[in-house]
Amino acid sequence: MADNTRRPEPRYGNRPTMKDVAARAGVGLKTVSRVVNGEPGVTPDTERRVQESIDALGFRRNDSARVLRKGRTASIGLVLEDLADPFYGPLNRAVEEVARAHGALLINGSSAEDPDREQELVLALCARRVDGLIVIPAGHDHRYLEPEIRAGVATVFVDRPAGRIDADAVLSDSFGGARSGVAHLIAHGHRRIGFIGDQPRIHTASERLRGYRTAMADAGLAPHEDWVSLGTTAPERVRDAVVAMLAGPEPVTAIFTGNNRVTVTVVRVLAAHDRPVALVGFDDIELADLLDPGVTVIAQDAATLGRTAAERLFHRLDGAVDAPSRVVLPTRLIARGSGEIPPPAEG
Amino acid sequence: MADNTRRPEPRYGNRPTMKDVAARAGVGLKTVSRVVNGEPGVTPDTERRVQESIDALGFRRNDSARVLRKGRTASIGLVLEDLADPFYGPLNRAVEEVARAHGALLINGSSAEDPDREQELVLALCARRVDGLIVIPAGHDHRYLEPEIRAGVATVFVDRPAGRIDADAVLSDSFGGARSGVAHLIAHGHRRIGFIGDQPRIHTASERLRGYRTAMADAGLAPHEDWVSLGTTAPERVRDAVVAMLAGPEPVTAIFTGNNRVTVTVVRVLAAHDRPVALVGFDDIELADLLDPGVTVIAQDAATLGRTAAERLFHRLDGAVDAPSRVVLPTRLIARGSGEIPPPAEG
DNA sequence: CTGAAAGCGCTTACAG
DNA sequence: CTGAAAGCGCTTACAG
């Protein structure tokens, strides 16, 4: 027999159904349903016969059919940017734990920072009739979700707000965090401070840039255009940005980085640089404390972000109909050395 | 009106169905189905009327009902140990990409290294009638899966093999990787080498220990019992193990660590230690190259692990019925400094 | 080209 | 305590 023999119609295999169990036990369908669901009103003897039949046939209730009748799928969708990004790991896990506590399964997907892919994924989840949706949006126009939300799909945005619709959101204080991080560098004597961030269409990126500009303005500093670089977090792009800022007649003496991926690349570039350059990064990164110098960061609490969003979602699923809310979680500056490097004495 | 007003029966909201669309367009149910699914045999005029009706009502096909009829859910389940562990990020992402390419959604869950939780999750996924399952097993007895596999649920184990059943598995070469890592330390002059690993009931942990013992035996070295420590990867446990190995009359001069979490803690402890101690760790870790010394590791390719497993799964779903296979992927030693530290001159 | 009937595997509402 | 009938929202198989 060849290796590539194919089954005719795979279907669910040949799974026994409640009907099969009922026939074998010589009872009605509803009685099987009662036993399977632990409902009362079955004599011990009948129950035993049904249970024996279930075991013999290897019956397992088809929740997919159950769901169709009950109207709730006991599943939620989580759309994030990249399942492989360590920043989202704790967020993902926190959402899972809350879902689990509510008896719901988690359907996961990455948008890859592509608005079309986000929409495609979100609508596929709606077609599966997930009870609710937690979205880290890639796009800026979520009006496509309006009919779904009206139809009862609870939706909570996390990390970034929804665009053009009014919806629950759970965010970190990107503006405040960046502002305090840049102020920290200024307090250590820096005047020429660079900002390297993610693409400006991403809400967190533009908020962090705003924090940078505000901190500079607060100190009466006017950042040179060349000190700001926004774009993808691809290592080459970030590397070029650092190199450019450190060259020229007025090189920056400190850099503020907009997220974990940017920070990692900047740390690499600075490690190979001849003069010390101060650095504060948004997002904590693993082993940041063991580098020399340790990396000073603005840490956000990704797990709390996820947990808060999921709890909000289930609150809605429990029937809460209060107005959409926005929760902003504080960030925390962790000084480890890189942010406390003074600028070189001016020549 | 109070905030906590509750809707009566949440159901799917009040979603329009094909029946509603048909009634509004004045056509039969089957015609709507044809339009929704892009099947041929509808006049342009009829199609226009139906489409108009779909748009006006905001109809979206209920895939949950579709699935019941079609027999396939176009979804797969992935059970891993911890969604927050950075090691699984790339694996998770790779599985997602393959699933996406096959039009399937990904249902995700963590076992938290608890066999009961693994089983509960796996069976819940089976009840949802996922088409297939990718499992990083926590337990060692997967006979509970036999009826499911017989009923047609394709199943592939990844990172660790199944227990007591014959099933596809995609693994990294834990034994060979650990053996070569320890041999590397021996080649650099070490004789007293410690091994700190995860709990021995975990397949990868015991295989790596076996690799350690084999490398030692190959070199004619008899490891002292105190040089081997297995247990949870909790930082306190690992810290105590390192401290114990470095104390006493015959302290180890090098340590081999069994996975990324152990390595991270050991790096922390060694950074605070007064004498240099060589280190090779299983699994690559972010920024390992920037530490001083850089951390020498045995790297495995988590993305390939995930991709290979997912491809195997869809191969099965396409009907392949060849015997269960075991794929073992090679590991790669990356020398960065910590593994090349020589032992101190003997007194 | 179009649609009425039956059925996927359950639960609901009801009757005995 | 028990079960037959109807229905969840689709697709299948068939007839016109």
B186: left (phi over 0), alpha (psi -120 to 50) or beta: alpha
pLDDT tens profile A103-142: 999 999 999 999 999 999 999 999 999 999 999 999 999 9
pLDDT tens profile A44-70: 989 999 999 999 988 999 988 998 888
CB A195 within 8 A of CB A228: yes
Q: How far apart are the C-alpha atoms of B117 and B129, rounded to whole Å?
A: 18
Number of Cβ pairs < 8 A linking chain A and chain B: 215
pLDDT given for residue A152 in this prediction? 87
Q: What are phi and psi of A337, to 5 degrees?
A: 135, -50
- Share of residues in chain B with pLDDT > 70 (%): 96
pLDDT given for residue B4 in this prediction? 32
CB B74 within 8 A of CB B103: yes
Residue with minimal CA–C1' distance to C2 is B31
Which nucleotides of chain D are near protein (any atom < 7 Å from a CB)?
A: 1-13
Higher pLDDT, A10 or B177: B177
Q: Pick from A273, A253, A28: which is nearest to B290 by CA?
A: A273
CB B279 within 8 A of CB B255: yes
Cβ contact, residue pair B107, A109, below 8 Å: no
Instruction: Kindly write down the DSSP assignment for every residue of B160-188, as one continuous string.
Output: S--SSS--EEEEE-HHHHHHHHHHHHHHT
Q: How far apart are the C-alpha atoms of B19 and B61, rounded to whole Å?
A: 11
pLDDT given for residue B15 in this prediction? 86
The type of residue at A184 is H
Q: Tokens for B22, please give them.
A: 């048909």
pLDDT bracket for residue B1 (50, 70, 90): very low
pLDDT bracket for residue B9 (50, 70, 90): very low
Q: How far apart are the C-alpha atoms of B258 and B212, rounded to whole Å?
A: 10
pLDDT tens profile B113-169: 999 999 999 999 999 999 999 999 999 999 999 989 988 899 999 999 999 999 999
pLDDT bracket for residue A151 (50, 70, 90): confident
Average pLDDT rounded to a whole number, residues B200-225: 97
HSE at residue B259, side-chain half, CA atoms within 13 A, is 25
Helix (H) or strand (E) holding A310: helix A302-317
Q: What is the pTM of this model?
A: 0.92
The nucleotide minimizing the C1' distance to residue A41's CA is D1
Q: How far apart are the C-alpha atoms of B288 and B230, rounded to whole Å?
A: 23
pLDDT given for residue B346 in this prediction? 64
* Residue in B92, B150, B322 closest to A3 by CB: B322
The type of residue at A63 is D
Q: Pick from B304, B306, B300: which is nearest to B282 by CA?
A: B300
Q: Pick from B68, B91, B72: which is nearest to B317 by CA?
A: B72
pLDDT given for residue A9 in this prediction? 38
pLDDT bracket for residue A172 (50, 70, 90): very high
pLDDT bracket for residue A346 (50, 70, 90): low
Instruction: Kindly write down the DSSP assignment for every residue of A45-60, as one continuous string.
Output: HHHHHHHHHHHHHT--
Coil/strand/helix, residue A98:
helix
Q: How far apart are the C-alpha atoms of B12 and A214, rounded to whole Å?
A: 46
pLDDT tens profile A285-338: 999 999 999 999 999 999 999 999 999 999 999 888 899 999 999 999 999 999
Q: How far apart are the C-alpha atoms of A271 and A268, rounded to whole Å?
A: 5
pLDDT bracket for residue A13 (50, 70, 90): low
A253 min Cα distance to partner chain B (Å):
21
Q: Any atom of strand D under 7 A from CB of A68?
A: yes
A127 at interface of B, judged by CB pairs closer than 8 A? yes
Q: Any atom of strand C under 7 A from CB of A66?
A: yes
Higher pLDDT, A16 or B4: A16
Distance A69 CA to D7 C1' (A): 8
Q: How far apart are the C-alpha atoms of B256 and B266, rounded to whole Å?
A: 10
pLDDT tens profile B206-218: 999 999 999 999 9
pLDDT bracket for residue B13 (50, 70, 90): low
CB A53 within 8 A of CB A25: yes
pLDDT tens profile B288-339: 999 999 999 999 999 999 999 999 999 999 888 899 999 999 999 999 999 9
A18 at interface of B, judged by CB pairs closer than 8 A? no
Q: Any atom of strand D under 7 A from CB of A44?
A: no
pLDDT bracket for residue A11 (50, 70, 90): very low
Taking all residues of chain B, what is their mean pLDDT, rounded to a whole number?
A: 92
Average pLDDT rounded to a whole number, residues B74-87: 95
Average pLDDT rounded to a whole number, residues B69-77: 91
Helix (H) or strand (E) holding B191: none
Q: Is the pLDDT of residue A90 over 60?
A: yes
Distance A34 CA to D3 C1' (A): 12
Q: How far apart are the C-alpha atoms of B25 and B33, rounded to whole Å?
A: 13
Average pLDDT rounded to a whole number, residues A181-193: 98
The type of residue at A336 is R
